[in-house]
A and B are shown apart, each in its own frame.
Chain A
């Protein structure tokens, strides 16, 4: 008897999106479907009555094992605009501290008739474990797992790029900073390579780039000036405080000097380049305020687009 190999855990038997766990492995068509759907929702958020009934009667559980304000809030807004009931659980401080296992927590919530679990977890792969154990009608959306993936952030980044640049076919995109620990970078890289961006660059010191990062389909630069040359899109990554002084980096100052985005460095990119950041920003560490608030910055629109993208994802996996 042949061994049954695991199929793509994100897709159902018809090849449709069952869970959103990672951008890696999703076909181009599904990414485009999400972006197109998000575009149709962008209008909703500007209407006076900002609601559509696509998830009426459904329950969305925000299951955050790791602290988050922005992502959790945007998921909550997105779910409410789809008319879903939203339950926020800050699991980091409740059941886990009482020793309950991850799967027990999920099983208990499942017994409360959940339809969608939006999961953030500090450990890479945790949403896969949950997706393997939920009931067939339940859906898991990864809101960030360890260093692995943050697919809705990746999708909102793709949405932002498409919004300003229309087409991926000629773009040069640079992702700068702590790629090693970044789920945002991994998700965006997979999205860009799937949608056909011809050149994706990662820029950072060796200590902040993962092993064999080039196998993700990116060009590696250690010199930021060389890496930024003629870029259409510059994505700055957040540098966590605890990583600024130690064995990875000597200091925030030295990092800023070599890898912080200033107006001078940005001038090396194309004149119409856009600057993105997943937030929250460390001004003066990875990005200078004059750039963050300057004309090239699309950092705040990213947040707005994030709501439409999350509405799209939830309506596609769980819509009536």
Chain B
């Protein structure tokens, strides 16, 4: 299949290119030369960008099919312009055996929508005791190893796990959260939690754990990707660690760039997230850190939760928010607020995560995989449950009006979504 994408605004964050032009797609790749094409897509008025790469999206399979299925969430991904996604291992059972990883990849491949990159469990059942067979899991397709939202309490195991991963050159993707300090907490330990009578998770639960992780990177040489920063001080620590030359990268959940503890309002359980939404000062530091590149990328941290599990008192509600279809508009919103060039804001969800994953996509240049998104940056749409393909309609942005609507998504040169 050869496709001509005609007259769009081509934005390639990797090269900084931003101009009106044509893109040719041939044999699943971006092609330099114009050939006879089977199809022409009129991209006038649309941005043509690399498909989004989301480093954290839960597809809920296996185990949580009542919350979402691979079909529904892969539909959501491509409707949101996400062409590659990494899925955390907190499925049921967790992704701690090659067979599970293999099955997930086959199922995803058969659906032929977004590319799926499984993240393997760092410890068996994510229980934090025994290491998984990382080499086997990597062979089955795991791109990194993680504890998802169950950070290791035992620093001895953490140290050994990072040593072992470093031996094979596997990256570890970890959240920085001290389990003991976070125990029982459901909201940022601050003014709002005090008023609402919610048990708090102090900001230093993150920075103390991050301090340990950075020390272990120094000790083991392990490649560390810190997931979901939430505090201003953690951004500072990463900035210093990068300056020092440590092999460290990090991401932020897109919700945390836009929302703060204030958004809990009257116990809005859609704002029950992990890590918790923090103070306005923290939010500003995250938005600024994402702009200056201290934070490498923004992720959706997509977590579909069924309505029953959200219609509960705040502390009992299941944490997480749906985000695959909101990642693009929320990144555009953040970029517009900070007056960033489009190529720069899109870099945080395309070329930067591609670098962390070590994949060829995330760029528009001859020979790169033709994973592309065509979107209308000026089209406003209202976030209502019916507008979402994901089975999870749990988003704090319900009722918001956001700019940026995906029109066409291509993966490996095939049109996988068209609105």
Contacts and interface: CB of A to CB of B under 8 A. Distances in A.
B193 A211 contact: yes
A6 B270 CA distance: 14
Interface in A110-142: 121, 123-126, 128-129
B195 A123 contact: no
A9 B400 contact: no
Nearest to A5: B265
B139 interface: no
Which residue of B198, B266, B382 has the most chain A CB atoms within 10 A of its CB atom?
B266
B106 to A, nearest CB: 36
Contacts of A3: 399-401
Interface string A132-156: 0000000000000111110000000
A30 interface: no
A24 B401 contact: no
Question: DSSP class of A's interface residues: helix, strand, loop or mixed?
Answer: loop
A124 B194 contact: no
Interface stretch (A212-220, A285-293, A304-312): A212-220
B419 to A, nearest CB: 20
Nearest to B398: A3
B194 A125 contact: no
A149 B194 contact: no
Interface in B391-413: 399-401
Interface string B292-317: 00000000000000001001111110
Contacts of A124: 196-198, 267, 313-315
B335 interface: no
A210 interface: yes
Contact of A211 (B200, B308, B312, B382): B200
Nearest to A129: B313
- Size bracket, chain A contacts: 20 to 34
Contacts of B312: 101-102, 129
Contact of A215 (B189, B194, B199): B194
B153 to A, nearest CB: 16
A32 interface: no
Contacts of A212: 190-191, 194
B77 to A, nearest CB: 26
Contact of B191 (A4, A24, A215): A215
A129 B194 contact: no
* 4 pairs of A and B residues whose beta carbons are closest in the complex: A148-B197, A125-B267, A147-B197, A123-B313
8 contacts: A101-B312, A124-B196, A124-B267, A125-B266, A129-B267, A145-B197, A146-B197, A212-B191
Interface of A: 1, 3-4, 6, 9, 24, 101-103, 121, 123-126, 128-129, 145-149, 183, 186, 210-213, 215-216
